[in-house]
Structure 1
Amino acid sequence: MSAQENHAMVRTVASTQSEMTEIILPNDTNLLGNLLGGRLMHFIDLTGAVAAFRHSRTYVVTAAMDHIDFIQPVRLGDLVTLKASVNRAFTSSMEVGVRVEAENTRTGAVTHVASAYIVYVAVDEHGRVQKVPQLKPETPNEIRRYEDALRRREHRERESARRVEAKLAVAARAEAQEKPQQSGSSIH
Protein backbone atom coordinates (compact mmCIF):
# COMPACT_ATOMS: atom_id res chain seq x y z
CA MET A 1 0.00 0.00 0.00
CA SER A 2 1.35 3.41 -0.93
CA ALA A 3 1.75 6.23 1.59
CA GLN A 4 -1.04 8.14 -0.20
CA GLU A 5 -3.43 5.17 0.03
CA ASN A 6 -2.53 4.69 3.70
CA HIS A 7 -3.26 8.37 4.48
CA ALA A 8 -6.63 8.20 2.68
CA MET A 9 -7.79 5.38 4.97
CA VAL A 10 -9.75 6.10 8.14
CA ARG A 11 -9.34 3.99 11.27
CA THR A 12 -11.18 4.03 14.57
CA VAL A 13 -9.67 4.57 17.99
CA ALA A 14 -10.88 1.09 19.00
CA SER A 15 -8.80 -0.47 16.21
CA THR A 16 -5.63 1.04 17.73
CA GLN A 17 -6.08 -0.21 21.28
CA SER A 18 -3.16 -2.01 22.89
CA GLU A 19 -2.88 -3.61 26.32
CA MET A 20 0.06 -5.14 28.18
CA THR A 21 0.25 -6.69 31.65
CA GLU A 22 3.48 -7.36 33.55
CA ILE A 23 4.18 -8.75 37.01
CA ILE A 24 6.68 -6.59 38.87
CA LEU A 25 9.74 -8.64 39.83
CA PRO A 26 12.79 -7.77 41.98
CA ASN A 27 14.89 -6.75 38.93
CA ASP A 28 12.21 -4.15 38.08
CA THR A 29 12.38 -2.36 41.43
CA ASN A 30 14.52 0.05 43.42
CA LEU A 31 15.79 -0.55 46.98
CA LEU A 32 12.39 0.46 48.39
CA GLY A 33 10.59 -2.23 46.39
CA ASN A 34 9.00 0.27 43.99
CA LEU A 35 8.96 -0.13 40.22
CA LEU A 36 11.77 1.89 38.64
CA GLY A 37 10.44 4.94 36.76
CA GLY A 38 12.61 4.16 33.75
CA ARG A 39 11.28 0.61 33.60
CA LEU A 40 7.70 1.93 33.66
CA MET A 41 8.60 4.39 30.89
CA HIS A 42 9.90 1.44 28.85
CA PHE A 43 6.59 -0.42 29.33
CA ILE A 44 4.69 2.76 28.37
CA ASP A 45 6.76 3.22 25.20
CA LEU A 46 6.25 -0.40 24.11
CA THR A 47 2.49 -0.34 24.69
CA GLY A 48 2.15 3.02 22.96
CA ALA A 49 4.23 1.86 19.99
CA VAL A 50 1.90 -1.11 19.45
CA ALA A 51 -1.11 1.26 19.35
CA ALA A 52 0.70 3.53 16.86
CA PHE A 53 1.69 0.52 14.74
CA ARG A 54 -1.90 -0.75 14.71
CA HIS A 55 -3.00 2.61 13.37
CA SER A 56 -0.22 3.21 10.83
CA ARG A 57 0.56 -0.40 9.87
CA THR A 58 4.18 0.57 9.40
CA TYR A 59 7.26 1.06 11.56
CA VAL A 60 7.02 3.80 14.17
CA VAL A 61 9.66 5.72 16.09
CA THR A 62 9.20 7.58 19.34
CA ALA A 63 9.43 11.32 18.69
CA ALA A 64 8.47 12.64 22.12
CA MET A 65 7.23 11.50 25.48
CA ASP A 66 5.30 14.68 25.95
CA HIS A 67 3.96 14.25 29.42
CA ILE A 68 4.05 11.57 32.08
CA ASP A 69 2.53 11.63 35.54
CA PHE A 70 3.69 9.15 38.16
CA ILE A 71 0.64 9.23 40.44
CA GLN A 72 1.26 6.30 42.80
CA PRO A 73 4.15 3.86 43.25
CA VAL A 74 3.92 0.35 41.83
CA ARG A 75 5.13 -2.24 44.33
CA LEU A 76 7.07 -5.47 43.98
CA GLY A 77 4.61 -8.27 43.16
CA ASP A 78 1.94 -5.97 41.71
CA LEU A 79 0.45 -6.59 38.29
CA VAL A 80 0.82 -3.51 36.13
CA THR A 81 -1.58 -3.13 33.20
CA LEU A 82 -0.99 -0.54 30.48
CA LYS A 83 -3.76 0.49 28.09
CA ALA A 84 -2.97 2.60 25.03
CA SER A 85 -4.80 4.01 22.03
CA VAL A 86 -4.17 6.68 19.42
CA ASN A 87 -5.70 10.01 20.47
CA ARG A 88 -5.15 11.77 17.15
CA ALA A 89 -3.36 11.19 13.85
CA PHE A 90 -1.72 14.06 12.02
CA THR A 91 0.08 13.78 8.67
CA SER A 92 2.87 11.39 9.69
CA SER A 93 2.70 11.51 13.48
CA MET A 94 0.28 10.18 16.06
CA GLU A 95 -0.33 11.09 19.67
CA VAL A 96 -0.94 8.04 21.85
CA GLY A 97 -2.37 8.13 25.35
CA VAL A 98 -1.32 5.45 27.83
CA ARG A 99 -3.06 4.72 31.14
CA VAL A 100 -1.27 2.56 33.71
CA GLU A 101 -3.00 0.68 36.52
CA ALA A 102 -1.50 -1.48 39.26
CA GLU A 103 -3.29 -4.44 40.79
CA ASN A 104 -2.34 -5.56 44.28
CA THR A 105 -2.07 -9.33 43.90
CA ARG A 106 -3.02 -9.96 47.54
CA THR A 107 -6.12 -7.75 47.75
CA GLY A 108 -7.14 -7.37 44.10
CA ALA A 109 -7.33 -3.57 44.52
CA VAL A 110 -6.68 -1.72 41.24
CA THR A 111 -5.17 1.79 41.30
CA HIS A 112 -4.47 4.29 38.52
CA VAL A 113 -0.71 4.84 38.90
CA ALA A 114 0.46 6.73 35.80
CA SER A 115 -0.60 8.39 32.55
CA ALA A 116 1.48 9.47 29.57
CA TYR A 117 1.22 11.08 26.14
CA ILE A 118 3.68 9.96 23.49
CA VAL A 119 4.20 11.12 19.91
CA TYR A 120 5.22 8.51 17.34
CA VAL A 121 6.21 9.11 13.72
CA ALA A 122 5.53 6.53 11.01
CA VAL A 123 8.54 5.54 8.91
CA ASP A 124 9.31 2.97 6.23
CA GLU A 125 12.06 0.34 6.38
CA HIS A 126 14.59 3.00 5.29
CA GLY A 127 13.57 5.46 8.01
CA ARG A 128 11.69 7.77 5.64
CA VAL A 129 8.65 9.49 7.10
CA GLN A 130 5.31 8.01 5.98
CA LYS A 131 1.78 9.40 5.98
CA VAL A 132 -0.66 7.74 8.38
CA PRO A 133 -4.38 7.03 8.09
CA GLN A 134 -6.86 9.49 9.48
CA LEU A 135 -8.44 8.74 12.86
CA LYS A 136 -12.18 8.80 13.47
CA PRO A 137 -13.14 9.32 17.12
CA GLU A 138 -16.58 7.86 17.85
CA THR A 139 -17.42 8.18 21.55
CA PRO A 140 -17.65 11.42 23.56
CA ASN A 141 -14.44 10.45 25.42
CA GLU A 142 -12.60 9.74 22.15
CA ILE A 143 -13.77 13.08 20.73
CA ARG A 144 -12.55 14.92 23.85
CA ARG A 145 -9.16 13.17 23.66
CA TYR A 146 -8.96 13.94 19.92
CA GLU A 147 -9.54 17.65 20.55
CA ASP A 148 -7.18 17.73 23.55
CA ALA A 149 -4.44 16.15 21.42
CA LEU A 150 -4.55 19.10 19.01
CA ARG A 151 -4.14 21.54 21.92
CA ARG A 152 -1.17 19.55 23.23
CA ARG A 153 0.40 19.53 19.75
CA GLU A 154 0.02 23.31 19.47
CA HIS A 155 1.61 23.66 22.92
CA ARG A 156 4.53 21.39 21.89
CA GLU A 157 5.08 23.51 18.78
CA ARG A 158 5.09 26.76 20.82
CA GLU A 159 7.52 25.23 23.33
CA SER A 160 9.79 24.02 20.53
CA ALA A 161 9.86 27.51 18.98
CA ARG A 162 10.60 29.02 22.41
CA ARG A 163 13.54 26.61 22.93
CA VAL A 164 14.96 27.46 19.49
CA GLU A 165 14.71 31.19 20.26
CA ALA A 166 16.45 30.67 23.62
CA LYS A 167 19.30 28.72 21.97
CA LEU A 168 19.74 31.44 19.35
CA ALA A 169 19.85 34.12 22.06
CA VAL A 170 22.52 32.18 23.98
CA ALA A 171 24.57 31.74 20.79
CA ALA A 172 24.26 35.47 19.97
CA ARG A 173 25.43 36.44 23.49
CA ALA A 174 28.38 34.06 23.26
CA GLU A 175 29.35 35.48 19.88
CA ALA A 176 29.05 39.06 21.17
CA GLN A 177 31.32 38.22 24.12
CA GLU A 178 33.96 36.71 21.84
CA LYS A 179 34.22 39.72 19.49
CA PRO A 180 35.62 42.27 22.01
CA GLN A 181 38.19 39.73 23.19
CA GLN A 182 39.32 39.02 19.63
CA SER A 183 39.72 42.70 18.68
CA GLY A 184 41.46 43.64 21.95
CA SER A 185 43.97 40.82 21.89
CA SER A 186 46.29 42.14 19.18
CA ILE A 187 49.98 42.11 20.05
CA HIS A 188 52.09 45.28 19.41
Structure 2
Amino acid sequence: MEVKKPSESFTAMNELVLPNDTNTFGNLMGGRLMYWMDIAAGIAAGKHCNAPSMTASVDNLSFKNPIKLGNVVHIEAKVCRAFNTSMEIHLKVWGEDLLHQYKYESNEAFFTFVALDPNGKPRQVPSLTPETDEEKLLYDGALRRRQIRLILAGKMKPNDAIELKAFLNAK
Protein backbone atom coordinates (compact mmCIF):
# COMPACT_ATOMS: atom_id res chain seq x y z
CA MET A 1 0.00 0.00 0.00
CA GLU A 2 1.43 3.37 -0.97
CA VAL A 3 2.48 6.05 1.51
CA LYS A 4 0.65 9.37 1.23
CA LYS A 5 1.31 12.94 2.30
CA PRO A 6 -1.10 15.10 4.34
CA SER A 7 -1.28 17.59 1.45
CA GLU A 8 -2.89 14.90 -0.74
CA SER A 9 -5.95 14.85 1.51
CA PHE A 10 -6.23 18.65 1.85
CA THR A 11 -9.83 19.79 1.56
CA ALA A 12 -11.14 23.36 1.61
CA MET A 13 -14.83 24.09 1.96
CA ASN A 14 -16.73 27.39 2.13
CA GLU A 15 -20.28 28.06 3.30
CA LEU A 16 -22.34 31.23 3.65
CA VAL A 17 -24.11 31.60 7.01
CA LEU A 18 -27.80 32.08 6.24
CA PRO A 19 -30.68 32.77 8.67
CA ASN A 20 -31.61 29.08 8.89
CA ASP A 21 -28.04 28.32 10.10
CA THR A 22 -28.16 30.68 13.09
CA ASN A 23 -29.44 30.76 16.65
CA THR A 24 -31.43 33.62 18.23
CA PHE A 25 -28.19 35.60 18.74
CA GLY A 26 -27.44 35.65 15.01
CA ASN A 27 -24.51 33.26 15.43
CA LEU A 28 -23.87 30.10 13.43
CA MET A 29 -25.21 27.13 15.40
CA GLY A 30 -22.51 24.76 16.64
CA GLY A 31 -24.38 21.74 15.30
CA ARG A 32 -24.51 23.20 11.79
CA LEU A 33 -20.77 23.92 11.92
CA MET A 34 -20.08 20.38 13.12
CA TYR A 35 -22.17 19.07 10.20
CA TRP A 36 -20.09 21.05 7.71
CA MET A 37 -16.85 20.01 9.45
CA ASP A 38 -17.92 16.36 9.29
CA ILE A 39 -18.43 16.68 5.53
CA ALA A 40 -14.99 18.29 5.06
CA ALA A 41 -13.34 15.63 7.25
CA GLY A 42 -15.12 12.88 5.32
CA ILE A 43 -13.85 14.25 2.02
CA ALA A 44 -10.29 14.43 3.38
CA ALA A 45 -10.55 10.85 4.68
CA GLY A 46 -11.87 9.66 1.32
CA LYS A 47 -9.01 11.35 -0.52
CA HIS A 48 -6.52 9.59 1.75
CA CYS A 49 -7.90 6.07 1.66
CA ASN A 50 -9.84 6.04 -1.64
CA ALA A 51 -12.65 4.20 0.12
CA PRO A 52 -15.88 4.96 1.95
CA SER A 53 -15.27 5.94 5.55
CA MET A 54 -17.31 6.90 8.57
CA THR A 55 -16.92 9.18 11.57
CA ALA A 56 -15.65 7.29 14.60
CA SER A 57 -15.08 10.20 16.99
CA VAL A 58 -14.89 13.95 17.35
CA ASP A 59 -12.68 15.48 19.97
CA ASN A 60 -11.13 18.75 20.98
CA LEU A 61 -13.74 20.85 19.21
CA SER A 62 -12.79 24.32 20.43
CA PHE A 63 -15.10 27.28 19.86
CA LYS A 64 -12.96 30.45 19.89
CA ASN A 65 -15.11 33.05 18.14
CA PRO A 66 -18.70 32.92 16.89
CA ILE A 67 -19.43 33.23 13.19
CA LYS A 68 -22.17 35.73 12.43
CA LEU A 69 -25.10 35.70 10.04
CA GLY A 70 -23.93 36.74 6.57
CA ASN A 71 -20.30 35.76 7.20
CA VAL A 72 -18.48 33.13 5.18
CA VAL A 73 -17.23 29.97 6.88
CA HIS A 74 -13.87 28.61 5.65
CA ILE A 75 -13.08 25.03 6.66
CA GLU A 76 -9.76 23.32 5.98
CA ALA A 77 -9.24 19.63 6.67
CA LYS A 78 -6.44 17.15 6.12
CA VAL A 79 -5.35 13.81 7.48
CA CYS A 80 -2.66 14.28 10.12
CA ARG A 81 -2.04 10.60 10.94
CA ALA A 82 -3.12 7.22 9.62
CA PHE A 83 -3.26 4.19 11.88
CA ASN A 84 -4.27 0.68 10.78
CA THR A 85 -7.88 1.29 9.72
CA SER A 86 -8.45 4.79 11.09
CA MET A 87 -7.31 8.30 10.23
CA GLU A 88 -7.13 11.40 12.40
CA ILE A 89 -8.20 14.52 10.53
CA HIS A 90 -7.29 18.01 11.71
CA LEU A 91 -9.74 20.79 10.89
CA LYS A 92 -9.35 24.55 11.12
CA VAL A 93 -12.26 26.95 10.73
CA TRP A 94 -12.29 30.68 10.03
CA GLY A 95 -15.10 33.14 9.69
CA GLU A 96 -14.88 35.97 7.18
CA ASP A 97 -16.81 39.21 7.38
CA LEU A 98 -16.96 40.28 3.75
CA LEU A 99 -18.56 43.64 4.54
CA HIS A 100 -15.77 44.75 6.89
CA GLN A 101 -13.14 42.70 5.06
CA TYR A 102 -11.56 40.68 7.84
CA LYS A 103 -11.00 37.01 8.54
CA TYR A 104 -10.91 35.54 12.06
CA GLU A 105 -10.15 32.18 13.62
CA SER A 106 -13.25 30.40 14.86
CA ASN A 107 -12.73 26.70 15.53
CA GLU A 108 -10.35 23.81 15.49
CA ALA A 109 -11.01 20.09 15.94
CA PHE A 110 -9.82 16.55 15.44
CA PHE A 111 -12.12 13.97 13.84
CA THR A 112 -11.36 10.26 13.53
CA PHE A 113 -12.65 8.32 10.53
CA VAL A 114 -12.52 4.58 9.85
CA ALA A 115 -12.18 3.25 6.30
CA LEU A 116 -14.69 0.61 5.26
CA ASP A 117 -14.49 -2.33 2.86
CA PRO A 118 -17.42 -3.29 0.57
CA ASN A 119 -18.98 -5.27 3.46
CA GLY A 120 -18.90 -2.27 5.82
CA LYS A 121 -16.01 -3.68 7.86
CA PRO A 122 -12.88 -1.68 8.75
CA ARG A 123 -10.14 -1.90 6.13
CA GLN A 124 -6.49 -0.91 6.11
CA VAL A 125 -5.57 2.63 5.11
CA PRO A 126 -2.36 3.94 3.52
CA SER A 127 0.31 5.19 5.91
CA LEU A 128 1.13 8.88 6.07
CA THR A 129 4.42 10.78 5.92
CA PRO A 130 4.27 14.35 7.23
CA GLU A 131 6.37 16.99 5.45
CA THR A 132 6.07 20.40 7.13
CA ASP A 133 6.94 21.24 10.74
CA GLU A 134 3.25 21.72 11.56
CA GLU A 135 2.36 18.36 9.97
CA LYS A 136 5.12 16.65 11.98
CA LEU A 137 3.85 18.21 15.22
CA LEU A 138 0.27 17.09 14.50
CA TYR A 139 1.51 13.63 13.49
CA ASP A 140 3.49 13.19 16.72
CA GLY A 141 0.61 14.37 18.89
CA ALA A 142 -1.93 12.11 17.14
CA LEU A 143 -0.74 8.96 18.90
CA ARG A 144 -1.22 10.59 22.32
CA ARG A 145 -4.65 11.95 21.31
CA ARG A 146 -5.59 8.46 20.09
CA GLN A 147 -4.56 6.94 23.41
CA ILE A 148 -6.70 9.49 25.28
CA ARG A 149 -9.68 8.64 23.03
CA LEU A 150 -9.19 4.92 23.64
CA ILE A 151 -8.91 5.40 27.41
CA LEU A 152 -12.09 7.52 27.49
CA ALA A 153 -13.92 4.92 25.39
CA GLY A 154 -12.85 2.15 27.79
CA LYS A 155 -10.82 0.41 25.07
CA MET A 156 -7.42 0.99 26.68
CA LYS A 157 -6.20 0.98 30.26
CA PRO A 158 -4.34 4.16 31.27
CA ASN A 159 -1.27 2.12 32.22
CA ASP A 160 -1.08 0.81 28.64
CA ALA A 161 -0.86 4.32 27.15
CA ILE A 162 2.95 4.25 26.96
CA GLU A 163 3.45 7.32 24.73
CA LEU A 164 0.97 9.39 26.72
CA LYS A 165 2.63 8.44 30.03
CA ALA A 166 6.08 9.25 28.65
CA PHE A 167 4.86 12.63 27.43
CA LEU A 168 3.22 13.51 30.76
CA ASN A 169 6.22 12.33 32.79
CA ALA A 170 8.55 14.46 30.64
CA LYS A 171 6.64 17.62 31.56
Structure 1 gaps, min length 5: 1-7, 165-188
Deviation, 1:126, is 2.2
Deviation, 1:162, is 8.0
Structure with greater helix percent: 1
Deviation, 1:113, is 0.3
Cα deviation per residue 1:51-101 (whole Å; 9 max; x = unaligned)?
Answer: 111000000000001220111110000000000000100000000000000
- Corresponding position: 1:96 with 2:78: no
Query: Aligned partners of 1:163 and 1:68: how far apart in 2?
Result: 22
Number of residue equivalences = 157
Deviation, 1:108, is 1.4
Residues 108-127 of structure 1 aligned to structure 2 (within 5 Å): 108-127=101-120
Deviation, 1:163, is 9.6
Structure 2 gaps, min length 5: 158-171
Query: Aligned partners of 2:147 and 2:156: how far apart in 1?
Result: 14
Query: Aligned partners of 2:69 and 2:154: how far apart in 1?
Result: 41
Q: Indicate the residue corresponding to 2:80 in structure 1.
A: 87
Percent of paired sites with the same residue? 37
| TM-aligned CA distance change 1:11 to 1:162, over 3 Å | closer
Amino acid at match of 1:55: H
Q: Indicate the residue corresponding to 1:11 in structure 2.
A: 4
Amino acid at match of 1:33: G
Q: What SS does the corresponding residue of 1:11 show, helix, strand or coil? A: coil
Largest Rg, 1 or 2: 1
Q: Could you list the structure 1 runs, at least 4 aligned residues long, displaced by more than 6 angstroms after superposition.
A: none
Instruction: Provide the alpha-carbon RMSD of the alignment.
Output: 1.4
